[in-house]
Amino acid sequence: MWFRQDLRLHDNEALRDALEVSNEVIPIYVFDERVFNTTTPFGFKKTDKFRAKFIIESVENLRKSLRKKGSELIVRIGKPEEEVYKIAKAAKTNWVFCNRERTQEEVDVQDALEKALWSIGQEIRYSRGKMLYYTQDLPFPVSHTPDSFSSFRKEVEKFVSIREPFLPPNSIPSFTSDINLGTIPTLEDLGHSSFEIDKRASFVFEGGEDKALQRLHSYLWETKNILRYKEIKNNLLEEPFSSKLSPWISQGCLSPKKLFYELKKFEKEHKANKSTYWLFFELMWRDFFRLMGKKHGNCIFKKGGIKKENSLHLKDDYRIFELWQKGRTGIPFIDANMKELNATGYISNRGRLNVASFLIQDLKVNWQMGAEYFESILIDYDPCSNWGNWNQLAGVGSDSKEMKYYNIISQAKRYDPHGDYVKHWLPELERIPKERIHIPDTLSLGEQKEANFVLGADYPKAMLNTNRWTR
């Protein structure tokens, strides 16, 4: 059983399939050296420290859970197509089971492994474990998935039922082959220094299925914050503003079907409202992007996107990009979000929408640079969700109705009316009066003196005059 982005025992279809037909199952996870120790085409670390740490914790938790069930987890660093192959050959297994991935890099790895296995008379057996919906239950073939989210939703949500998640196995037979278990790498082994979580973070993520289930339980049953989700999902500071389940969902520590059935149980036993529905609605977005990835393949990664647009006006401008990336644009709402992202690996959906729109539509920088940076830094990076959202914001996605221009200052005033969020991440703006917190570039010299603040020294001058959004 080759674990990939499905680091869980509950609702793990590949694991269930393996157990159904085998007397012996050998669980294995490979830290793919191409995912951890390389850089992206624009020169970012492919997997930065936040996600690397989260994955290490998730694998540790998986090993612990497998041990409790009577089994083990073999761990390797290298190329899965070589490491899994070596074990399959040495142990003379029949099949390698895994949950199928659909994006190019992941497909290349599974294809290479499959070829290697064929050479020794073995094969891969694929299962499906990523989405809420099974593609075979949808009322259309993948190639005919509606390109607009609302059409997709209307065709699916009322008519297609979501299958129940599989329970975790009661036990897993231990394997008899004598295989070196391997040690789980440290952050240093994966090319990062160890680090402390930033004290300003609104939430501390810890990888693993156990923590995922705890968070789910606390968000629904203990705090019942789910009941306020729709009202507060655009808040920026407080911890409960959204479920914070994304890193666990992305690494497969939590199955979306499990989340859905827990929501239904909560609605039945406690209460259903617009907020409980809305979390399901957001999960449908995730399925939609995954289906767009399947339908349009590599287009989601290309500059012209799904629409194959000519995006020549967007430049690979590293100088401008770096100001954005480091949170030094002089536009507090953008800088605060980028500082939070750089310090924690996470920002809210509202923050993501704004910084991405600003990079593309105001700075006219190639959106792929932003998407690649997100791929590097996000703790919850998921190929289809990330590149799909960036496609949409760049206007090259499948759904042109979803492309919006975000007026940064209106957004800042609406979602951070008192500037609390901005001041949290940019303490140098502490003394700026509330009315000007989002537009410090408009302070006269006299006003700067009064606030004991020097624009250009204490905080960068705005790279774009904010009156473009306030006129």
Ligand X SMILES: Cc1cc2nc3c(=O)[nH]c(=O)nc-3n(C[C@H](O)[C@H](O)[C@H](O)COP(=O)(O)OP(=O)(O)OC[C@H]3O[C@@H](n4cnc5c(N)ncnc54)[C@H](O)[C@@H]3O)c2cc1C
Interface residues with ligand X (CB under 6 A) are 233, 242-246, 249-250, 279, 282-283, 285-286, 289, 348-349, 352-353, 356, 374, 378, 380-382, 385-386, 389-390, 393
Minimum CB distance to ligand X smaller for 162 or for 393? 393
Least distance to ligand X, CB of residue 95, Å: 30
**Residue among 56, 6, 40 at smallest CA distance from 374:** 40
Minimum CB distance to ligand X smaller for 85 or for 321? 321
Least distance to ligand X, CB of residue 67, Å: 29
Q: Name 28's bridge partners.
A: 2, 74
- Edge-first strand order for the sheet with 2-3 is 2-3, 28-32, 74-78
Structure tokens at 106: 């992941």
Least distance to ligand X, CB of residue 282, Å: 4
Q: How far apart are CA 362 and CA 207, in angstroms?
A: 36
Q: How many Cβ atoms from other residues are within 10 Å of residue 58's Cβ?
A: 27
Least distance to ligand X, CB of residue 369, Å: 12
Structure tokens at 332: 């507090």
Minimum CB distance to ligand X smaller for 12 or for 376? 376
Q: Are 76 and 83 in contact (CB under 8 A)?
A: yes
Minimum CB distance to ligand X smaller for 255 or for 448? 255
Q: Are 241 and 199 in contact (CB under 8 A)?
A: no
Least distance to ligand X, CB of residue 326, Å: 18
Q: Is 117 helix (H, G, I), strand (E, B) or coil?
A: helix
Least distance to ligand X, CB of residue 402, Å: 10
Least distance to ligand X, CB of residue 226, Å: 9
User: Letter for the amino acid at 268?
Assistant: K
Minimum CB distance to ligand X smaller for 44 or for 285? 285
Minimum CB distance to ligand X smaller for 96 or for 371? 371
Minimum CB distance to ligand X smaller for 103 or for 389? 389
Q: How many Cβ atoms from other residues are within 10 Å of residue 101's Cβ?
A: 18
Q: Are 93 and 122 in contact (CB under 8 A)?
A: yes
Q: How far apart are CA 339 and CA 306, in angstroms?
A: 30
What is the full DSSP assignment across 65-115? HHHHTT---EEEEE-HHHHHHHHHHHHT-SEEEEEPP-SHHHHHHHHHHHH
Least distance to ligand X, CB of residue 5, Å: 11
Minimum CB distance to ligand X smaller for 81 or for 382? 382
Least distance to ligand X, CB of residue 37, Å: 21
Q: How many Cβ atoms from other residues are within 10 Å of residue 280's Cβ?
A: 17
Q: How far apart are CA 76 and CA 180, in angstroms?
A: 10
Q: How far apart are CA 199 and CA 327, in angstroms?
A: 18
Structure tokens at 5: 């982005």
Least distance to ligand X, CB of residue 261, Å: 15
Minimum CB distance to ligand X smaller for 175 or for 266? 266
Least distance to ligand X, CB of residue 275, Å: 10
Minimum CB distance to ligand X smaller for 174 or for 349? 349
Largest CA-CA distance found in the chain, in angstroms, rounded: 80
Distance set, CA 88 to CA 20, 29, 50, 116, 124 (Å) = 18, 13, 32, 10, 11
Minimum CB distance to ligand X smaller for 190 or for 394? 394
User: Letter for the amino acid at 114?
Assistant: E
